Amino acid sequence: MTENEVSAFLKRYPKVTTIELLISDLNGVLRGKRIERNLLEKVVTQGFYLPGSVMSLDATGTTVESAGLGVDVGDRDQRCRLIPETLAIVPWIEDGSRAQALCTMVDDNDEPFFSDPRQILCNALERFNKLNYQVGFAAELEFYLVDMDRDAQGGLRPPASSTTGRRMGSCQVYSIDDLNEYDAFIQDVLQAARAQNIPADTVIAEYAPGQFEVNLHHSDNIVRSVDHAILLKRVIRHVARKHGMEATFMAKPYIEESGNGLHMHLSLMQDGKNVLAADNPVDNPIMRNMVAGLLSMADSTQAFMAPNINSYRRLAPGAFAPTAKNWGYDNRTVALRIPSGSKAATRIEHRMAGADANPYLVATAVIAGVTEGIQHRMEPSAPVTGNAYDQEHPHVADNLRDALRNMKKDVRVADWFGESFVKVYQACKWHDLHLFEQQITQLEYDLLLGYA
């Protein structure tokens, strides 16, 4: 980010008094600092500092000391730098006094910090770019709106519409009426996204009461697209709060309803043309290479796609969440879907990640799989027709423990993500797993207290 960019922004928004400096941690949670207006130009030229341990936090936001970024190294600070073209107004602060900027972390030599998820994606793209292709990319995010007040049993429930007072109680996928009832919220989300230069344009009602999906524009800048996905989640949460609701990207907030996914759409461009375009895309050699590479790394990257205990509750047969390593044309029961449509728009829809995953790490895993498949000319299994859930296909891990073990078995993960980062990630996720297992649930008391 340049001083001229900052000067022009402050001139355009004279009411801004504070700026939030945001950086994604390992879990995709935005953390950072808030500074006063008069410090912004200094921060642009010199950077600012955060503890490197912010990249080794558990689900509670506590440093995982076994990751090695905490007291073992004196809980050292690392310099952070502002990312160009991310300085934007915070539109839900209605007096115009707040702005924000996305940041990235560097080491003592001003090189990418090894545990910054955004830098890991940038490194992966440097390798991919040697293939002389460009990735076309778009993301879809699913989320639930929930009432701030819980039901009589303390559970989640859909919010009551501010328009009609009605509380959604059934699945009305693609319902226009449901969109109309939450139109004020949806319009505020899209308006806030525009104010922050986030190219979101489509919102649909999804497969459960209170569940929605928002789409980001297709782009040939995958890093910027993932920046937009991270920032859009923040927009949705804050706008929901403004409307007296909560928004959650939790993978499976209701056990009886569909989960929240993060779907990534990929095309492959060369000399301005989509090389995946074909009359029969499942026979396209490059398409087949890409699919095979992605499936070959599905086991070892599953812990990035499903990073939490709850993530695996989403992976249920028949719930439009992939449970196996398969692919097919226009088939929503598979992991990798080739959507129908015009030949020029031929692409892969990667459906494996939950909305709780860190988009930078998911995108890195996707780039790694695509590159491996193309470089080694891999061939996939036959495309699936019909309901994949009723067929026999190799399954991905259905729990975090096995997913983490599979990650360690594949040397390609350390090669793409960095051995040091994988060690940090493993330490943090095993810590989360143990944290969960140290809890005694109400169901255990109900079933065992008087009988065991």
pLDDT digits (tens, 9 = 90+) for 153-195: 888 998 887 777 777 665 555 556 666 788 889 999 999 999 9
Q: Residues 6 or more apart from 423 whose CB is under 8 A from it?
A: 67, 68
Give the closest residue to 194 by CA, choosing from 219, 163, 165, 217: 217
**pLDDT for 283-320, tens place per residue?**
999 999 999 999 999 999 999 999 999 999 999 877 77
> What string of H, E and C letters represents the secondary structure of 91-115?
CCCCCCCEEEEEEEEECCCCCECCC
**Mean pLDDT score across all residues of the chain:** 93
| Contact indicator for 168, 178 with CB cutoff of 8 Å | yes
- Whole-number pLDDT of residue 204: 84
Assess whether pLDDT exceeds 90 at residue 386: yes
pLDDT tens for each residue of 425-443 = 999 999 999 999 999 988 8
Output the pLDDT for position 35.
Answer: 98
Angle at 156 between CA 153 and CA 159, to 5 degrees: 120
Residue pair 116/104 in contact by the 8 Å Cβ criterion? yes
Kindly give the pairing relationship between strand 336-338 and strand 245-248. unpaired
pLDDT per residue over 61-70, tens digit each?
A: 999 999 999 9
Run of H or E residues at 137: strand 134-147
Q: What is the mean pLDDT of residues 323-333?
A: 95
Quote the pLDDT of residue 340. 92
pLDDT tens string 107-139: 999 999 999 999 999 999 999 999 999 999 999
Which pLDDT band holds residue 205 (cuts at 50, 70, 90)? confident
**Stretch 364-389: mean pLDDT:** 97
